Structure 1
Amino acid sequence: MTVLSWNCRGLGQPRTVQELVCLVHTYKPKLVFLSETRQSNACGKRKEWRPVGSKPSHPFRYEHMWEQVESLQRTIEEGWRGSGEATNLQDVGAKISNMEHVLRTWAERDFGSVLKKTAEFRRKLSILWSSPNSAENQQKIKRCEAELDEILLQEELMWRQRSRVTYLREGDRNTKWFQRKATWRMKKNEISRLLDSSGVWKEDKEGIQDITRSFFQNLYEKEHGVEPQAVLNLVETKVTEEMNSALTKPFTEKEVTDSLFQIGLLKAPGPDGLLARFYQRNWESCEMTWSGAF
């Protein structure tokens, strides 16, 4: 008799369910024993508690995997052009904010959770594999496997974006290393607390923001009582008037376009959550000509 015993964390998570289904399908155990590592009270105290039924607020991020869905391009074009023409920077900001709302709504309605969809298709395949063999059943299995392959590609693109491993191409195997790379980046970039000027640790979001803002304001603020002209008089002039005129002249739309297309496709997005890939991919189709806005 084959027995499967698994001590894991996150039994309710879609990825855990996926791996469990694969193990059961591969080894076909007669008995499955599951246990979950208990979290200590010390770890539990660090959790953020929310009212029952409320959802955590996650910042918007443009997802590379969305591009596998045909309706995305039409949604982007209609959302961008439907918010009017950009004649100044305020209009540009309004169009970008509207695009965030459009894409977030589209993702919830037409895309959903790729992890949940993967788990659901694995569950369907498991049921089909255990059903009596027939021509109709084989056709269902082929269709389900084809849809699962498409969803697995989307999941691979998701982990590629989160891991920021630029030397990996679409089609590489979706391994645990791929996912650990993304988890490691998240832990590395996370700031859990900061020490303020009075020696008190701040762990809340507002406190961390205040310390960060104050630090950079003080860093780049002009120091009173310091007169730099005496030092500047000793520095030989390198920038001529002609060079200065070329550097300070109004920039052109071509310069903006050239700079944009030199940015890595999946580099970290700005506060708007839109990757450089979004602008590069839709620059011509959405007629993103902002020359009059600058």
Structure 2
Amino acid sequence: MQAFRDCLEDCGLTDLGFVGQRYTWCNERLGTQRTLVRLDRFVANKGWKALFPEAMVFHMSMPASDHCLLELSLKKRGHPKPTKKRFFFESMWTRDDRCREVIETAWDPLRECPMFQLQDRIRSCQIHLQEWNRATFGNVTKALKQKQSRLQHLEALNLLHETAEEIENLRNKINEDLTKEEMMCNQTSRAIWMKCEDRNTSFFHATATQRQRKNRIEGLCDPDGAWCDNQEGIEKIILDYFSEIYSTGQPYI
């Protein structure tokens, strides 16, 4: 089994996940000898998932087999509801000494207005950090590519002294941008066990994409056990579930 896992890793193949029942095989025995296992799955590499970003795998019941049917859908069913991007504190900001100043200014500790509560201070920090990030960092990946292109051009001139200082400055800036980019990808993928010097950003991007796939709610079962995968139905199931919890003295989770 370890050899198989090593093969998947060497080929860059990751699990596509699934929607539906958790297990794909049953030994069809009863009692203590009954076994349920997820044996069957779809795997794909980063290139394939980039071509089919909406691909989904569905586990379908098969009464005539001890395995369930795996159905691969290349396009998402229905139209996703647009969602607002959440705010995250970027760890790369701490590499800039001005970050502390931005937070202190936004927090405004000298402001004694009773209406300016904790949540208002947090919101103020969020707005100031976002504005500062756009003005100071911008698009790190785009800026990195521009600097790398400029460095390539300067080195292609094959000049001994004329471009030496600019080349050295560019290299320092590129290394700094590479560190920032890696910190962003590292934070997004939650792969904090990877050392910062290992600069395998393609791995981080793949891991982050896989996380986004797992974080999506593709469907839910209603109280009657029926599967629902449309946006309105999913929202109703969630609202009804939590409304029931908060309206009873003995909630069951």
TM class by shorter chain equals 0.5 to 0.7
Gaps in structure 2 of 5+ consecutive residues: 1-49, 55-73
214 and 46 in structure 1: CA distance in 2 versus 1, 3 angstrom threshold: closer
The number of residue pairs the alignment matches comes to 181
Residue 92 of structure 1 deviates from its aligned partner by: 0.6
Mapped partners of 1:73, 1:189: distance in 2:
32
Distance 1:38 1:61 in 2: 28
Q: Following TM superposition, by how much is the alpha carbon of 1:150 offset from its aligned partner in structure 2, in angstroms? A: 0.1
- Give the drift of 1:83: 7.8
| Inter-partner Cα distance in structure 1 for 2:149 and 2:81 | 32
Amino acid at match of 1:66: W
Distance in 2 of aligned mates of 1:48 and 1:220: 28
1:167 aligns with 2:193: yes
**2:86 equivalent in structure 1:** 59
How much has 1:147 moved relative to structure 2? 0.2
- Amino acid aligned to 1:194: L
Contact 1:196 1:202 (C-alpha < 8 Å) held by counterparts: no
Q: Give the TM-score, by structure 2 length.
A: 0.59
Aligned residue number for residue 205 of structure 2: 179
TM-score, normalised with respect to structure 1: 0.52
Specify every segment of 5 or more residues in structure 1 that has no aligned partner in the other structure, as ranges. 1-36, 51-55, 225-294
Q: How does 1:171-210 map to 2 (within 5 A)?
A: 171-196=197-222, 199=226, 201-204=228-231, 208-210=234-236
- The separation in 2 between residues aligned to 1:129 and 1:102, in whole angstroms, is 39
Taking a change above 3 Å as real, the CA distance of residues 152 and 219 of structure 1, as seen in their structure-2 partners, is same
User: Which of 36, 54, 76 does residue 103 from structure 2 map onto?
Assistant: 76
Q: Describe the shift of the 1:123–1:207 C-alpha distance in structure 2 as closer, same or farther (beyond 3 A).
A: farther
- In the TM superposition, residue 200 of structure 1 has moved relative to its aligned partner by 7.0
What is the aligned counterpart of 1:153 among 165, 168, 179?
179
Indicate if the aligned counterparts of 1:202 and 1:208 stay in contact, CA closer than 8 A: yes
After superposition, give the CA deviation of every residue in 1:257-281 in whole Å (9 maximum; x if it has no partner). xxxxxxxxxxxxxxxxxxxxxxxxx
* Structure with the greater alpha carbon radius of gyration: 1
Q: CA deviation at 1:196?
A: 4.4
Task: Give me the whole-angstrom Cα distance separating, in 2, the residues matched to 1:47 and 1:112.
Answer: 31
By percentage of residues, which structure has more helix?
A: 1
Counterparts of 1:27-106 in structure 2, within 5 Å, are 43=75, 57-81=84-108, 84-85=111-112, 91-106=117-132
Identity of aligned residues (%): 26
Higher relative contact order (CA 8 A, sep 6+): 1
Which secondary structure state, in structure 1, belongs to the residue aligned with residue 102 of structure 2?
Answer: helix
Contact residue 160 and residue 178 of structure 1 kept, 8 A: yes
The answer (yes or no) to whether the contact 1:83–1:95 under 8 Å persists in 2 is no
- Cα distance in 1 for residues equivalent to 2:125 and 2:233: 30
Report the equivalent of 1:30.
none
Q: Comparing both structures, which one devotes a greater share of its residues to strand?
A: 2
C-alpha distance in 1 between matches for 2:161 and 2:181 = 30
Residues 152 and 220 (structure 1 numbering): CA distance in 2 closer, same or farther, change over 3 Å?
same
Decide whether aligned partners of structure 1 residues 217 and 46 sit closer, same or farther in structure 2, where only a CA change above 3 A counts.
closer
Give the SS at the match of 1:43. coil
